[in-house]
Amino acid sequence: MQVVDLGAAPGGWSQYATQVIGQQGRVVASDILPIDPLPFVEFVQGDFREDAVLAEILKLLKEEKADLVISDILNMSGVDAVDQPRAIHLCELALDMAKQVLKPKGDFLVKLFQGEGSEAFIRNVRESFRIVKFGSQQPQDLAAGRFMCWRRVLCCNISRIGVKTDNAS
């Protein structure tokens, strides 16, 4: 299984993914910030909006594309009026990249903040992914309006990396 982790620094999601998929799998992580080397994680440093980063990720994936893209890309200022549109924009860009690096039946898991633009983003996701579900690792995430969405096909695998599969819509 191949996992691409977007917005990976400092590496928590990548570390967890390596534990779940084991040494036969591959985690390709990327972030604009450096990370300390992590066992079984290959890292691409750069802005994921740049073509060179996409090219390097595809190179590391070799012949096969990814089974799962996880995205926790955030760039928060603390000002809601700035952060929500920025977060949605980054989710849209992550969705674009996911479509380019995923296998046809691959899955996309993204951290999404509920608010202005989130419904439109979910509609976009639905155009590309057959099943969209919402969940949260933590009750406080749900309370704060943070959701994950992903396609169902590999939801067993995704459940194994710690995301509840209830609250389906």
Ligand X SMILES: C[S@@+](CC[C@H](N)C(=O)[O-])C[C@H]1O[C@@H](n2cnc3c(N)ncnc32)[C@H](O)[C@@H]1O
Binding region for ligand X (CB under 6 A): 7-13, 31-33, 47-49, 72-75
Phi, psi angles (nearest 5°) of residue 90: -65, -35
d(CA 40, CA 49): 24
CB of 130 to ligand X, least distance (A): 26
Residues 84 and 112: their CA atoms lie apart, in Å, by 10
Question: Which residues face 107 on adjacent strands?
Answer: 68
Cα distance between residue 80 and residue 51, in whole Å: 29
Among residues 43 and 134, whose Cβ is nearest to ligand X?
A: 43
Question: Among residues 47 and 119, whose Cβ is nearest to ligand X?
Answer: 47
Residue 90 C-beta: closest distance to ligand X, Å:
6
Active-site hit among 62, 65, 111, 164: 111
Q: How far is the CB of 39 from ligand X (least distance, A)?
A: 15
Instruction: Check if 111 is active-site.
Output: yes
CB of 158 to ligand X, least distance (A): 15
Q: Closer to ligand X at the Cβ: 89 or 103?
A: 89
- 66-71 vs 102-113, strand pairing mode: parallel
**Separation of alpha carbons 96 and 103, rounded Å:** 13
Q: Which is nearer to ligand X, 2 or 30 (CB)?
A: 30
Residues marked active site are found at 111
